[in-house]
Amino acid sequence: MTEPVTEPVSEPAATGPVRLRVAPSPTGDPHVGTAYMSLFNLAFVRQRGGAFVLRIEDTDRARYRDDSEAQIYDTLTWLGLAWDEGPDRGGPYAPYRQSERLDRYRPYADRLLADGHAYHCWCSAERLAQMREAQQKAKQPTGYDRLCLGKSREQRAELPGFSDTPVVRMLIPDDVPLVFEDVIRGEVRAPRPDDQVIMKADGFPTYHLAVVVDDHEMAITHVVRGEEWISSTPKHVLLYRWLGLPVPFFAHMPLLRNTDRSKISKRKNPAARLTWFREQGYLPEALRNFLALVGYSMPDGREVFSFEEMVDSFDWKRVNTVGPVFDLDKLGWLNGQYIRALGSDDLAGRIADHLVLTGVLPAEPTAAQQDLVQQATPLVQERMQLLSEAEGMLAFLFVADADLQVSEDAAATLKADAAGVLDAARSALQALPDWRAGDIEAALRAALVDGMGLKPKLAFGPLRVAVTGRRISPPLFESMQLLGRASCLARIAMLRSRLG
């Protein structure tokens, strides 16, 4: 354990290395807020030097989910937000998983008890519920009424609502400092806290004690977290002071909000789940840019910028204090910008990975499949915002002819003359010496537009439906070239036979 320092630190060093942390709880799919916090933590750490710590706060066993920790690692790694110390990586302040640190909190609680800053409370859950109900009915502020304060176990046991195993509560003084300095917000006034429980009856610390002890023992210099923790900060400052520990700097980031300004919750919004972005085909660098953009403004007002550029300009003063709106249209636009800026080979690799993720391609695509993705990429690069759109546009290249499904809206575009169009197209294509997009187009124009006097839209529509099964697809003639003559003819014949 690091030796407690008796003098609280009040001024930040303006230069020199810093230590920041993100402390997610593994309670399910990682929340997008974890990435948002990590990004800002990391930007500051990379600017100043020091370490970014990933601590897993897994003491809430009721909400604990087994696979969640691995998902936190996967999604942060995918986003390029790598941590320097953490449960998987070790580091000088290990262990980084709270459940492995359980023996560390009790001595701090004992010290607070001995110094009269904390007391035992034996009130049963039923008594606390009744107390709260009575306070609400009487329109009084709710909070613990201190029935147990100053009583020994024996004295308390004689009163009703006694529970055998006590919790430990903080004794919040009348003159509790409610104002603290926030690195982003300046002076912040928080509501008066209740006599907060710091050790539960099961011997586990609550978040409030654990976070102070861990941040101290891990030598965290700046606690950067969501604004929902503002009301907890005065309690934490008290704990630091009572324990004689240096107080870190606090920065409370504005919460991400839905367009109706409500808090983003995993129950209501799929975009609260970090894994969702990958499934949808957002690029990690676009999501990173977006998360930076919602909370931060570049000195020159630019919207498209890299993480390195953010690091160079980083300044807490440029962080928003008003809850930024999580506008998926904006993210879609940014993603499109990033997709268009990628080299074709790079994009092809990402499209292939996405097609594997969604099961269009097998886990190990063949060289021929990879080659096809590579050739198809230029056809879709300008047409998509999300990698998932590539799936809809390119899936026709990867299904067997017999398995091609014609979508209902595509079938609905077929007019009475579609059968004649397909017949004429088939003979024109069969006779073609070279199977190249330009030749395919010339032959089809000659047969259908010039020969049958059809408008191009009516002439080529049925072919698009036959070959891709869809109303909208990448450019038709290039698509046909990629698919190959045999498949094109087979698919034209299939649709033709359906038309009778």
Active site residue 266: yes
Q: Quick one: which segment of 22-30, 272-280, 352-360, 437-445 binds ligand GLU (CB under 6 A)?
A: 22-30
Shortest distance in whole angstroms from residue 254 CB to ligand GLU: 15
Helices (H) and strands (E) in the chain, counts: 20, 9
Residues 225-254, one symbol each (x = binds ligand GLU by CB under 6 A, - = not), give x---x-------------------------
- DSSP letter at 4 equals P
Shortest distance in whole angstroms from residue 225 CB to ligand GLU: 3
* 3-state helix/strand/coil string of 132-201: HHHHHHCCCCCCCCCCCCCCCHHHHHCCCCEEEEEEEEECCCCCCCCEEEECCCEEEECCCCCCCEEECC
H/E element, 52: strand 50-54
Position among 57, 69, 214, 391 found at the interface with ligand GLU (CB under 6 A): 57
- The residues facing 18 across adjacent strands are 50
Report the candidate in 380, 420, 397, 356 with the shortest Cα–Cα distance to residue 484. 397
Shortest distance in whole angstroms from residue 322 CB to ligand GLU: 20
3-state secondary structure of 484: coil
Position among 209, 211, 238, 422 found at the interface with ligand GLU (CB under 6 A): 211
Q: Which is nearer to ligand GLU, 24 or 205 (CB)?
A: 24
Which residue out of 137, 151, 263, 266 is catalytically annotated? 266
3-state helix, strand, coil in the chain (%, to 5): 50, 10, 40
Q: Which is nearer to ligand GLU, 263 or 436 (CB)?
A: 263
User: Binding of ligand GLU at residue 24 (CB under 6 A)?
Assistant: yes
Return d(Cα 288, Cα 308) in angstroms, integer: 11
- Cis peptide bond N-terminal to 95, omega within 30: yes
Extended beta strands in 186-343, E state: 186-189, 197-199, 222-226, 249-253
User: Binding of ligand GLU at residue 64 (CB under 6 A)?
Assistant: no
User: Binding of ligand GLU at residue 69 (CB under 6 A)?
Assistant: no
Shortest distance in whole angstroms from residue 253 CB to ligand GLU: 10
Q: Quick one: which segment of 18-26, 164-172, 280-288, 374-382 binds ligand GLU (CB under 6 A)?
A: 18-26
User: Binding of ligand GLU at residue 25 (CB under 6 A)?
Assistant: yes
Shortest distance in whole angstroms from residue 275 CB to ligand GLU: 17
Q: Which is nearer to ligand GLU, 71 or 468 (CB)?
A: 71
Shortest distance in whole angstroms from residue 330 CB to ligand GLU: 25
Q: Are strands 50-54 and 179-182 parallel, antiparallel or unpaired?
A: unpaired
What contacts 385, CB < 8 A, 6 or more positions away?
A: 332, 333, 335, 336, 339
368-407: contacts with ligand GLU (CB under 6 A): none
3-state secondary structure of 470: coil
Q: Which is nearer to ligand GLU, 233 or 369 (CB)?
A: 233
Shortest distance in whole angstroms from residue 60 CB to ligand GLU: 9
Q: Which is nearer to ligand GLU, 33 or 462 (CB)?
A: 33
Q: Are 233 and 180 a contacting pair, CB within 8 Å?
A: yes
Q: Which is nearer to ligand GLU, 190 or 418 (CB)?
A: 190
Q: Which is nearer to ligand GLU, 224 or 376 (CB)?
A: 224
H/E element, 337: helix 328-341
User: Binding of ligand GLU at residue 71 (CB under 6 A)?
Assistant: no
Residue type, 405: Q
Residues lying near ligand GLU in the complex (CB under 6 A):
23-25, 57, 211, 225, 229
Q: What residues act catalytically?
A: 266
